Structure 1
């Protein structure tokens, strides 16, 4: 009779997953600190990156080292942000944001992943026009109408564009340039978000056949495994989110 994964095996897998998450968070903090403003209070992007790291149980020492590395005080590698655009299986538009110290490696890995899954790497601007830089702030409501109403009122008063209630969650949407102001206003209203981030949101989502969806999921998971890849955006209407 076969045995399932051992406790040690599961722990090693969880440790590896956690290390990968930390790698991506550290890179985000490093890049956010490159502006020269190393105080999160005066650097909204750095504040968001630090908040994510703390939520993931990263130690303050690790966060401070990443900030020093980004500021140049710690002699760290020169991390760069680079965006790749292309098409996945079924013509699905994909944006892949990377944070890397080696753009040659990053583009080669991204191109290989796309090609292997029936897609192709495009030129700058080839798909980004189908997306808009949008603030997404997500709250758990459990379908509580009173809480949904409170979030709606606070969000619209703060300058948000819309609030989408679905599956026991309320997602506040706002223009990218208003994101930090809206986020702070909602915090001040005593509302604690489950997640908050600036994303590239597609104007429209396209349905894909089941066989293409399977290949697309495999592509997304492949890309997520690449250390250089920071965020992935696409315009496919998947039946369920990709497991992270």
Structure 2
């Protein structure tokens, strides 16, 4: 009989996956630190990046080292934040945010992934008008009307703009500059988000032709696997997994 993957093999795979996530988050912390002050209480972007790192159990020592390194003259490679826009299979609009020390390499990697999956790179502004930058905090509320009501009441009291219930989650929406205050108010109400951050939310989602769904999902996975890519936003209405 064949043997499945060993415990050690699975652990190594999980460690590698976690390492890639940590690398992306450290880059985000670095950019946020250099874009403001090295204090999460005074730098909303840094606070959001630190919260994301803590949510995936990144050790606090790693976070503190990243902030210290980014705020000092350590001679490290200079990172820059770049955004690419384009289209995927089925005409899906894509925004691809990256942190890189070599934009030439990054754009080549992104263009290659798009072209291999029937997509193409667009010009700046070609799809961003279809998205709105906002703060989002998602809470698990599936089948729990009392929890939905609790999230709604706390969000409105915190000054959020809206709450959207979809796919078993209640997503609180707010202005980017209000994200920190809304997040703290919701945490104070005993609500802990599944994920939270400031990003690009599509104004409308578009249906994807059935024959393009698998290709699009593969493209999204390939983009996410690129070391320089931090976030990928799209406006596709994808089928939910059963």
Instruction: Flag whether TM exceeds 0.5 (same fold).
Output: yes
Q: What's the counterpart of residue 211 of structure 1?
A: 211
User: Distance in 1 between the 2:102 and 2:151 partners?
Assistant: 42
Q: What's the counterpart of residue 173 of structure 2?
A: 173
C-alpha deviation, 1:158, in angstroms: 1.9
Task: Provide Cα deviations, 1:19-40, integer angstroms capped at 9, x if missing partner.
Answer: 1000001001111100341111
What stretches of structure 1 of length at least 5 have no aligned partner? none
C-alpha deviation, 1:142, in angstroms: 4.4
User: Distance in 1 between the 2:113 and 2:96 partners?
Assistant: 11
Asked whether the 8 Å contact 1:69–1:75 carries over to 2, the reply is no
Q: What's the counterpart of residue 202 of structure 2?
A: 202
C-alpha deviation, 1:106, in angstroms: 0.5
Detail structure 1 runs of 4+ shifted over 6 Å in the superposition: none
1:156/1:36 Cα in 2 relative to 1: closer, same or farther (>3 Å)? closer
Equivalent positions of 1:1-244 (< 5 A) are 1-240=1-240
Further displaced range: 193-202 or 67-76: 67-76
1:5/1:136 Cα in 2 relative to 1: closer, same or farther (>3 Å)? same
C-alpha deviation, 1:81, in angstroms: 0.4
SS of 1:172's equivalent in the other structure is strand
Task: Provide Cα deviations, 1:45-84, integer angstroms capped at 9, x if missing partner.
Answer: 1112112212222222211121122213433221110000
Asked whether the 8 Å contact 1:143–1:167 carries over to 2, the reply is no
User: Distance in 2 between the 1:166 and 1:115 partners?
Assistant: 32
C-alpha deviation, 1:157, in angstroms: 2.2
TM-score (norm 2): 0.94
What stretches of structure 2 of length at least 5 have no aligned partner? none
SS of 1:41's equivalent in the other structure is coil
Further displaced range: 73-82 or 229-238: 73-82
User: Distance in 2 between the 1:12 and 1:171 partners?
Assistant: 34
C-alpha deviation, 1:104, in angstroms: 0.6
C-alpha deviation, 1:226, in angstroms: 0.4
